[in-house]
Structure 1
Amino acid sequence: MNVLGLINSFIRVVEGGSIAAAARAQGMSAAAVSQNLSRLETHLGVRLLSRTTRSMALTESGTRYYEKVRHIPRDLELASQAATGTSEPHGALCIATTAAFGRHVLAPLMPAFKAAYPRIDIELISTDRRVDHRLEGVDVSLRIGAQLDERLIARRIASRPFVVCASPAYLERAGVPETPEALKHHACLVFRYPTDGRFLPWGFVRDGQRFDAQLNAEFIGDDIDMLAQIAVNGGGIARLASFVAQPLIDSGRLVRLFDGNRRTQACAEPEPMEIYACVAERSALNAKVRALIEFLEAHLDAGGKAH
């Protein structure tokens, strides 16, 4: 009997909150995970989980057992590294990332990361919704500052400019806003958070003071690339991350606004995008996650700090 395998299934069920979540995390069927739980309970001679068709909860014995075994997978990984004399990161690494950052920044870097760490098996989840690390088996998520969750531990790994921009056709038709305050008179393309329905505010900094611009939200979307294409086709003014906007500016399809050319005392610059690596708990900062964070910091040329 592979008792360690049974224990791993038990830990995954507890941390994932369901048998289905544990099955996804382990790449197994729900029936196989359920069977592992039954075998472990039979082996121990106690009931670990109280299960009904609608709910599942640890029993008193299950709670005590979980506290004793929860660190076993990590301890085994460290023991293996000590025995082999290598600390090379290895194993599965599930990374959740915002859609635009994943598409434009992370994906192009992944082949180089894989070449540097060939023993790490990478899974990517690209979404702007809030992910549950334990339920979905996520090791680390990459989020912007406005998406941070106080239940997670966050480390700043990069900063990227936001760019306010519009097409030449739109600016010729509607005029060029000279200050952020003028945006309320223009068609603005606004991103709405899928998680709670909030608009992503357009923050600016003037003379060291931060403020949010008042916007006329003529188009609302939950996909940055879609909003960028609306802007390219003359739909209005968008605020895009530089990695989305710059190729469109270089090709002449978009024009940068509020670019730091202080023609008037009222000028202001867009607040930058801060990018964070987030984990559910300190123990999740294992060798694989640290390798990813250090790789991204080096390739994005931005130092990280605790948040």
Structure 2
Amino acid sequence: MALAAETSELIAFTKTVDAKSLSRAAAELGIPRATVSRRIAQLEKKLNARLLLRTTRSLVLTEPGSIFYKEAIIALEAIRQAEQSVSRIGGHLRGDLRVSIPPGMKKSFRAMLCEFTAQHPMLRVHIHTSSHHVDLRSGGYDVALRASTHMQPGLIARTLFRDPVIAVASPGYLSGMGFPVTQHDLKEHHCLVGLSRGELPDMYWPLLSGDRVKVEGTFFTDDISLLCEAALNSRGIALLPEELIRGHLQQGALLPVLKDIIGTEMQIAVVYPDRHFLLPQVRAFIDAVVIWVDSELGDQKSRKR
């Protein structure tokens, strides 16, 4: 009972720090705000230290609170891993699987997720969809599917395939604005700009030479499918992965722009924290994703996997 009480206090404290609000933490935990406040007070009494400075508008970690928060996250993750180390008892995966995926995934991927949950009915699967790169090391998520030119250090990344990223525009846009001849011509064009890691406008496009060129953005979004749609609707030039636009290129709905000058390669990978062991449900999910990639891409996947 003492361990359960101490765990609930740690959860109340760390959830409050993450949510930056007692009320939001209580809502996420599904318990009254007063209960969260009481558990934090009990924790501070046991430690004989103030962990949080609470005002009417904000919560601020004290220096002891900041140190304790980091250790509390590690302790809670150790408890979770201990619980889930027996997740295959009876031949069935049990426990939780928390996954972060980018928006705009193919219908076949969504079908694969549904099939995965059908195969593992005792598993609680949490899917978080966002273009932002969630912090896998904080213990909030077990695994993520990411497409990036640079993978975050400190994580294990299993590459699924690599995909060229090229600049494209519609014939309608190019007939009106003309084809750029050099990278410097881009300053005279409307560029459709994505957000790096889903956060900041990617105002510098990569050159095949390894350098970069600054572009003038007129449209910004963290939704890659929306970037593609804007390009198809003659709104400007977009930098897009070839796999996403292959059909549009074949149909002539999009045309390459500066193909010998602008471009890079994107790595599509499943990533997870560097832990002492891989949870069974994480391993099962990675295996399912690999099978999906094999069935989707076939021989295309062989390019620099």
What 5-or-longer segments of structure 1 have no aligned partner?
260-266
Report percent identity of matched pairs.
24
Residue 272 of structure 2 corresponds to residue 273 of structure 1: no
Q: Structure 1 CA distance, aligned partners of 2:198 and 2:90?
A: 45
Q: Give the deviation of 1:48 after TM superposition.
A: 8.2
Q: Structure 1 CA distance, aligned partners of 2:190 and 2:36?
A: 53
8 Å contact from structure 1 (residues 94, 138) kept in 2: yes
What 5-or-longer segments of structure 2 have no aligned partner?
295-300
Residue 291 of structure 2 corresponds to residue 289 of structure 1: no
Q: Give the deviation of 1:155 after TM superposition.
A: 0.4
Q: Structure 1 CA distance, aligned partners of 2:93 and 2:100?
A: 19
Q: For 2:102, which of 98, 101, 106 is the aligned residue? A: 98
Residue 14 of structure 2 corresponds to residue 12 of structure 1: no
Deviations along 1:252-305, one digit per CA (max 9) or x if unpaired, are 43234466xxxxxxx2573221123333442584222222223223322469xx
Equivalent position of 2:239 in the other structure: 239
User: What is the total number of aligned residue pairs between the two structures?
Assistant: 285
User: What secondary structure is seen at the aligned counterpart in 1 of 2:134?
Assistant: coil
8 Å contact from structure 1 (residues 188, 217) kept in 2: yes
Equivalent position of 2:164 in the other structure: 161
Q: TM-score normalized by structure 1? A: 0.69
- Counterparts of 1:1-307 in structure 2, within 5 Å, are 1=1, 3=2, 5-13=4-12, 16=15, 18=17, 20=19, 30-34=33-37, 50-53=51-54, 54-56=59-61, 71-79=78-86, 81=88, 84=89, 86=91, 88-100=92-104, 102=105, 106-133=109-136, 137-146=140-149, 148-150=151-153, 152-158=154-160, 159-177=162-180, 182-193=185-196, 197-199=200-202, 201-205=204-208, 209-249=209-249, 252-257=252-257, 267-268=260-261, 270-283=263-276, 285-301=278-294
User: What secondary structure is seen at the aligned counterpart in 2 of 1:162?
Assistant: strand
Cα RMSD between the aligned structures?
Answer: 4.2
Equivalent position of 1:262 in the other structure: none
Q: TM-score normalized by structure 2? A: 0.70
Residue identity matched to 1:246: R
**Pair 215,46 (structure 1): closer, same or farther in 2 beyond 3 Å:** closer
Q: Structure 1 CA distance, aligned partners of 2:81 and 2:122?
A: 17
User: What secondary structure is seen at the aligned counterpart in 2 of 1:118?
Assistant: coil
Residue identity matched to 1:234: S
Q: Give the deviation of 1:223 after TM superposition.
A: 3.0
Q: Structure 2 CA distance, aligned partners of 1:4 and 1:172?
A: 70
